[in-house]
Amino acid sequence: MLKKLALSLCLPLMLSTTAVTAAPLISDPVALMQSILQQERAWAGLETKTIKVEDFTFAYSEGGPKTAPTVLLVHGFSGSRDNWNRVARKLTKKYRVIALDLPGHGDTITPPTYEYTLANLSESVRKFVTAMGIQKDLNIAGHSLGGGISVLYSALYFLEVRSVLLVDTAGVYANAGNSLITKPQELSKLLARKPGDFERLVTQFATYSPPFVPKELMEGYEKIHMRRLAEQEKLMAGLTEQMKWYTPDTFQTGLRTLEAPVLVVWGDKDAIIGVEAVEEIKKNLKDGEYLILNDVGHTPILEADYPVSEAYIKFLDRVQKMPNKFAPATPAK
């Protein structure tokens, strides 16, 4: 029971995509992995795009009807926009879907002087959202670190957020069971520094029942992952530093500030952020729905993409029919 854990830490979504695709014969593991990811984006109905915003070049995937309500998907620590591909495949049939590579992740180009803190990441998401012109009635979804960012973003810009999805979200919890987030001294285990580390992260921490991933794909994603090691070390250090000043009350205040309906999804076998945290979230949300998935670890968007997608689409459909409580009142006749 952690009385003072301030981490809007987020913990990895470090799992490679496992969609079954017919990949060309490529000897380089990185090139093979990138080829498969591109195929998977197309399978999900997504296109790869970039946008220049100040000193950033944000990489993102986009798909679905342009005039439909917008869903922004935010990945976790050491992950990428591709972690959402399986869920996005269901969403693009009805919604405009945008999946972003956060600063220090994926293909986004970040200024070398960027300071990796939760506040800066949230503000970077804001810059991307406003540059894209998607801030009005935004549906935002976050996994792990992306969940912590989504809470902060939705608390700050509550007039514009239509709904929130939190999946095994990072936060500052008084009780997260015996999970890794309660052991700050061991958080360095979430970084892959040498060959073999990435597979250990996937099998020991990120998933409960790890899927089969061919060796070549595992090697390719590990190399892609390790290219970002310097940025990930800065981010981990920045988030860990916040443990010196935040308490669970800080995170709870953010949750209580959320005005939009929230869907909370959690794997009951999450070894990184224990499912016990859900009870704490329940006590602080004004409008929450909850889905606990049995025998699922930290990455439900990969381990249980079908139930997550089905629940999220039903939630989104319901939310779109609800009146906007912040819309101007109709003038009396």
Which letter does DSSP use for residue 189 in this model?
Answer: G
pLDDT of 263 reads: 98
Distance CA 318, CA 99 (A): 22
pLDDT at 33 over 70: yes
The pLDDT tens digits of the residues spanning 213-272 come to: 888 888 888 988 888 899 999 988 888 777 667 788 888 999 999 999 999 999 999 999
Residue 221 C-alpha from the chain's centroid: 18
pLDDT at 306 over 90: yes
Collapsing DSSP to helix, strand or coil, 200 comes out as: helix
Q: Which residues contact 74 (CB under 8 A, 6 or more apart)?
A: 100, 102, 125, 140, 141, 142, 143, 146, 147, 149, 150
Percentage of the chain modeled with pLDDT above 70: 89
Contact status, residue 324 vs residue 137, Cβ threshold 8 Å = yes
Domain boundaries, the chain: 29-320
**Topology, domain 29-320:** Rossmann fold (3.40.50)
pLDDT of 104 reads: 94
Which letter does DSSP use for residue 212 in this model?
Answer: P
Question: Taking the alpha carbons of 38, 39, 42, 43 in that order, is the dihedral positive or negative?
Answer: negative
Collapsing DSSP to helix, strand or coil, 16 comes out as: coil
pLDDT at 13 over 50: no
pLDDT of 247 reads: 81
Question: Taking the alpha carbons of 78, 119, 300, 269 in that order, is the dihedral positive or negative?
Answer: positive
pLDDT of 333 reads: 56
Residue 176 C-alpha from the chain's centroid: 19
Report the length, in residues, of the chain: 333
pLDDT top residue among 27 and 286: 286
pLDDT at 14 over 60: no
Mean pLDDT over all residues of the chain? 88
Using left for φ > 0, alpha for ψ between -120 and 50, and beta otherwise, residue 302 falls in alpha
Distance CA 92, CA 313 (A): 10
pLDDT of 330 reads: 55
Distance CA 283, CA 302 (A): 28
The pLDDT tens digits of the residues spanning 184-215 come to: 777 778 888 899 988 888 888 999 988 788 88
pLDDT at 59 over 60: yes
Q: Show the CA angle centred on residue 49, arms to residues 48 and 53, nearest 5°.
A: 150
Structure tokens at 6: 């301030």
pLDDT of 248 reads: 87
Band of residue 168 on the pLDDT scale cut at 50, 70, 90: very high
Lowest mean pLDDT among 55-64, 162-171, 225-234, 235-244: 235-244
pLDDT at 117 over 80: yes
Distance CA 210, CA 279 (A): 26
Lowest mean pLDDT among 14-23, 45-54, 306-315: 14-23
Distance CA 256, CA 253 (A): 5
Percentage of the chain modeled with pLDDT above 90: 64
Order of strands across the sheet that contains 262-267: 47-53, 56-63, 96-100, 70-74, 138-143, 161-167, 262-267, 288-293
pLDDT at 15 over 80: no
Which letter does DSSP use for residue 109 in this model?
Answer: B
pLDDT of 260 reads: 96
Q: Which residues contact 201 (CB under 8 A, 6 or more apart)?
A: 12, 14, 189, 190, 192
Rounded to an integer, the average pLDDT of 174-186 is 84
